Amino acid sequence: MRRLPFSLLSTLFLSCPVLAQDRAPATLDQVLQAQDGDSHGDLRAVVVLRDGAIVAERYYNGETADTLHDIRSAGKSITALLVGAAVARGQLATTKTVGGYWPEVAASPAGKVVLDDLLTMRSGLAAFDEDEHSPGNEDKLDEAPDPAAFVRGVPAATKPGSIYRYNSLGSYIAGRVVENASGADLEDYAAKALFAPLGITRWSWGRDVARHPKGQGNLSLRARDTAKIGQMVLDDGVFDGKRVIDAAWLKAALAPRVAIGAVDRYADSYGYFWYAKTQDVAGKKIAVHFASGNGGNKIYVIPARRMVVSIASSAYGKGYGQRRSEDILKAILAADATQM
């Protein structure tokens, strides 16, 4: 039997969630099965939760439910949750500066940045990941033999709080701030404040040359576990009946603090290392909050549907990765509308 191209299947589900052969409404399982036709070979997993229960799940190209997957910059959103944990414990405040918690960089431009501006990608530092010549570019940070010295050396470019510039430097700094404010290694802090309460027992976190976990990413988790994180966010910081992250912090983190639609086709606004976009599906406007990583790694949180969609993808550096994940989300939302 001839397999339909992924692009055709995707178009079919997005334009009208109906199967061609019998005109029956597409189920969530059928939407996920349709991704088997993807020719790129780098989609890894899709997990869909409704009210905390798995309602659809599929793995691709060798991935299994137990595979640890590098979610890349979606880890920034997890760093934001850890900042929130530290705020709730009275260990730091977003109204204070980086230097107030990291004395080693206090005299530098980075040290003078207020945490609120850091968390919204408006630090004003000359750090822009889309420009390889930017002094604070992610690749240069990764290659730095002394990360603290690198941070001190990044100059200011604009007034803090004025311009959104996507960069990994800010989330790396945020991770170091949490470490200094809490007195704990960032990974150890995450294990106690976030992973243990969610029942997450396996992960891997990349570290810099100074052995600090990378607050900007390189955190590997199972797709079911990233879905758990999304569920906790959906439930205002509660998981399994217990408070994990402060509800006020999540409200602040998800709030549309910066309009970024003009520079990011996949998002309308940015909060504290979390994105938001209103999707138009079958004429209905659906608000979605999400964590996003290179290659199409996503944790989508959809309050109106009581849903979470976790997508693992290894299309690193490939433009189609982000587009494919959004297409899958919209196909899921379209199919879900027929089953409500």
Q: What is the pLDDT of residues 77-130, one digit of tens each?
A: 999 999 999 999 999 999 999 999 999 999 999 999 999 999 999 999 999 999
Distance in angstroms (rounded) separating the CA atoms of residues 325 and 295: 9
Total Cβ atoms within 10 A of residue 97: 19
- Identify the pLDDT of residue 339: 62
Residues ≥6 apart with Cβ < 8 Å to 24:
18
Which is nearest to 134 in space by CA: 96, 93, 179, 165?
Answer: 165
pTM: 0.92
Distance in angstroms (rounded) separating the CA atoms of residues 267 and 261: 6
Per cent of the chain over pLDDT 70 is: 92
Residue range 139-184, pLDDT digits in tens: 999 999 999 999 999 999 999 999 999 999 999 999 999 999 999 9
Alpha helices in the chain (DSSP H): 6-15, 28-34, 74-88, 115-119, 138-143, 147-153, 169-182, 186-190, 196-198, 223-234, 247-254, 319-337
Encoding tokens for residue 270? 């940015």
The average pLDDT across 287-315 equals 98
Return the DSSP state at 192. Answer: I
What does residue 56 show for φ and ψ, rounded to 5 degrees?
-160, 145
Distance in angstroms (rounded) separating the CA atoms of residues 59 and 56: 11
